[in-house]
Amino acid sequence: MGVEYKGSRYRGWQRQRDNVLSVQQTLEEALSKVADSPVVLHCAGRTDSGVHACGQVVHFDTLAARSPKAWTMGANINLPHDISATWAKSMPAHFHARYKAVARRYRYVIYNDQIRPAHLGDQVTWNHRPLDVERMAEAAARLVGTHDFSAFRAGQCQAKSPIKTLHHLRVSRHGKMIVLDVRASAFLHHMVRNIAGVLMTIGAGERPVEWAGEVLASLDRRAGGVTAHPFGLYLVEVEYPAEFELPARFIGPHFLTGFESLAADDPAVIC
């Protein structure tokens, strides 16, 4: 099943022991009503508190026989306004939403203006300092490739290895919005937010472009400065082998789909 959600009200994706509000628990309860039996979900990527998704993929095992439309519409009838099921499909038994994924893609959206926005306040990260996108893009290029990203890894990260491959890290401006678009095989905990923090510092002129590479080479999280806020972060796409034939949707978030320049080098974006 494809899922999108606004993460502002939730303590992240994962169900919590203290029963605080989570996306997983909310979606499991809705799907259990459709199945008329308990449903346990597995997701492609566990997002943090306040982080959003427009391309999350989940799977669950069930004996309930429902059509794809019935799963999707039934879930949405039982879900709150800030979570939506976007598609559903029966899959072969060897499919797994997390372990069969070959790449994940995030977008981090910055609202760059002296005045804080009254709209989209918890869906973008506001930065009042004038940011130089060219400097940010030049610094971003130093992080692309296969590296040890220990300097961009949260202390509580449970990944077995800090070595990850960034396939692309693009920086583009669209009016007041600056978008960081990053695709990798997998990510470390807080990795995108830590990258965003470094790039914004460089964009503000507080550090030289070379600092991005210096932070990377240090292998020390303390060298990288402050972790950026979660508000502007979106899981926008999860990729799988072609054999699974998962439905394709636009690359979000929704309020960016009208920016044709964002889609110029990205045929997967529908405007």
- Among 36, 48, 148, 181, which one carries the catalytic annotation? 48
Write the single-letter amino acid at 157. C
Write the single-letter amino acid at 60. F
d(CA 207, CA 143): 16
Write out the DSSP string of 193-246. Answer: HHHHHHHHHHHTTSS-TTHHHHHHHHT-GGGG-PPPPSTTEEEEEEE--GGG-P
Q: Which of 194, 185, 189, 213 is closest to 152 using CA atoms?
A: 194
Q: Give the torsion sign (CA, 63, 65, 67, 73).
A: negative
Q: Which of 36, 35, 11 is closest to 23 using CA atoms?
A: 11
- For the chain, how many residues are written? 271
Q: Give buried/exposed letters for 132-154 (b at 16+ CB in 10 A, else e).
A: bbebbbbbbbbbbeebebbbbbb
Task: Determine whether 181 is an active site residue.
Answer: no
Type and span of the H or E element at 260: helix 260-263
DSSP state of 257: T
d(CA 47, CA 213): 26
Catalytic positions: 48
